[in-house]
Structure formats: structure tokens, C-alpha cells
Amino acid sequence: MNPSASIGPRLNAILELVTEAQQKEAYPCIWDCCCDHGYLGIKILSYNLCEKLVFVDQLPHIIEQLAAKIAPFGTGKHELITADAGDLVFDSQNRHLVILAGVGGECLIEIISKIESKHPDVQIDYIFCPSSRHKLLREYLSSLSMGLLSEQLVCDKKRCYEIIYVQGKTQTGLLPAVSLNCGLWDMDNVDHQQYLKKINTPRASKKPKRRIK
């Protein structure tokens, strides 16, 4: 990927969120977990937004391809890790920002529960952008002591994506909990209305096939 190439509204919204966060109180280390093509991490690197950017994916061939792609950036400011994101180790000296985008809610819950159970004393904040099972993820997040920093709905080519930015460990009362539903509907936005209808429509149960005699 050419670092100046555009990345589409979904990843761009996350990039803007990261840029704003870094202007307020910078995270020294940002993790592009489940990175695949690495587009987001490459942008973060090329805009020099943090001291260290870590690319993580569970598939070795993805990390190998990415290593070749980001070679022009030189070493020192980034790291590549082939691993299940739930098995990562975070040092307690730093605040961390973990980005988890493009994977389903169930997978995200597994990753978060593994990370949080192993790091009870490390400040880890997250940006989530699930590809499915948003409600399940919200239910899970609302049951934890995580605080909502911001949320937004981004639509691209008739698909809408929820982007949820949370503080991993928050003192009760300082930030609102993550709510069970995204509250950012724009009633005049056709894409928002279609998405709202879609997620509130119960899935059709499969009818048994009729036998042809």
C-alpha cells in the first residue's frame, strides 16, 4: 500500500479518532490487532502518530507479506507479531491503545476477555469496529467496568459500521458505561435507518425443505 493512498470511510474514521486521541494524551504504543492488510497501521506509522506501532495477526503469511510492505519505514517504530491477539503481553509501564476492527463480536469478546484477565493492572483502551454481532459485543462491554469515550456510526457503500472507543478500566461514575444500543441514529439519514431496521429485524429461521415425492 502506498502510504498516501486513501483507506475508505471506515478506516479513515478510526484514523481520525486515533489522531484526536494522540493530540489529547498520546498513547506511546498503539496495536493494530487483526491487522490483515495493515492499511490502518501503515497510515498511523506514516503520520508518525505514536512512538511504537504493533501489527498483529494470527496468520503467518499475512505478517510475512506485511513485513515486506513496511520495510521502507525502517525498524524501530514498529513491530510485527504473529499471534492470537488474546495472547499478547502488554507492559504495565505504558498506556496502550488496542484497535480491533473487521472481526465479529464473538471473536472480539474472546480476545478482550483473554487480554483483560491477564492484565488486571495495565491501562489498555480499545477502539472496536466489529464486522458482526454488535449487540453481543455491547452486552459484554456493558457488563465490564469499561467507560465509553466515544462512539460513532460510519456508513460506506450501503453498509454501516459502529466504532466504539472505550477506556479499559475506568473509575465508577467518571465515564458512562457502554450502552446496549448505538444511540447515534440520524433519523434523516437513509443509510442509518436501513441499518437500524436490519439489526432490529429478527433473523429468519430456516424452514425445513419439503420433500418432493
Cα–Cα distances (Å) from 209 to 1, 177, 202, in that order, read: 47, 44, 21
Give me the least distance between CB of 134 and ligand SAM, in Å please. 14
Minimum Å distance from CB 126 to ligand SAM?
13
CB of 171 to ligand SAM, least distance (A): 29
Q: Is the dihedral of CA 154, 25, 66, 109 positive or negative?
A: negative
User: Strand pairing of 78-82 and 96-101?
Assistant: unpaired
Q: For ligand SAM, which is the closer residue by CB, 68 or 204?
A: 68
CB 99 within 8 A of CB 32: yes
Give the residues lining the site for ligand SAM (CB under 6 A). 34-36, 56-59, 62, 84-86, 101-103, 107, 111
CB atoms < 10 A from the CB of 92, how many?
Answer: 10
CA-nearest of 133, 126, 135 to 86 is: 126
What is the closest distance, in whole angstroms, from the C-beta atom of residue 101 to ligand SAM in the complex?
A: 3
At position 102, the amino acid (one-letter code) is G
Sheet architecture: strand order including 124-129: 78-82, 52-57, 29-33, 96-101, 124-129, 159-167, 147-156
The residue of the chain with the least Cβ separation from ligand SAM equals 102
C-beta of 106 vs 191, nearer to ligand SAM:
106
What gap in Å lies between CA 21 and CA 75, rounded to an integer?
24
Minimum distance, C-beta of residue 166 to ligand SAM, in the bound complex (Å): 17
Indicate the residue among 8 and 176 with the shorter CB distance to ligand SAM.
8
Our CB check for ligand SAM shows the closer of 130 and 147 to be 130
- When the beta carbons of 34 and 164 are compared against ligand SAM, the nearer one is 34
